[in-house]
Amino acid sequence: MAYANWDFYNRTWRGSMTAQAFERWSARASLEIDRATQGRAATASESMRDALALCCCELADTMLQQDEAAIATGGGNVAGESVDGYSVTYRGGAETGSLQDTADAARLHICRKYLCRPVNLLYTGVQP
């Protein structure tokens, strides 16, 4: 279940993805939300619906950008760049974990931005 639909993405978020691309990435973003909230987002109160939709839209955009960056760099980080001769060197292999860690941290930051108020869906302690 996606937490945002195409109409919300297009009219409220004003995103730039096509409907087909948004369908793909919003499904993945919704899975990321479910993972971050340990499934509590699916049963969240009505007061969290807009926050969930906004989070889904931003995650979908970010995940698309991260995917495009990974494809463009072959999954590596830029290790060096020269301006005059336009030479770019990418890190790869064992160092690609840092790229994944950076992407994971960015997605968690987005979840924190939206999913802590008015109900903290990211809370992992004992519920009263």
- The predicted-structure confidence for 9-37, as pLDDT tens digits, reads as follows 999 999 999 999 999 999 999 999 999 99
Better-predicted residue by pLDDT, 42 or 97: 42
* Those residues with Cβ within 8 angstroms of residue 42's Cβ, 6 or more apart along the chain or in another chain: 1, 34
Q: What is the DSSP letter of 79?
A: E
Better-predicted residue by pLDDT, 110 or 88: 110
Least Cα distance to 34 among 42, 26, 45, 24 occurs for 42
- Is the per-residue pLDDT at 70 higher than 90? no
Mean pLDDT, range 92-96, rounded to an integer:
52
Q: Whole-prediction pTM value?
A: 0.81
Q: Which two tokens stand for residue 35?
A: 């993972």
Strand partners, 90: 78
Residue pair 103/66 in contact by the 8 Å Cβ criterion: yes
pLDDT of residue 97: 58
Mean pLDDT, range 75-87, rounded to an integer:
65
pLDDT of residue 33: 98
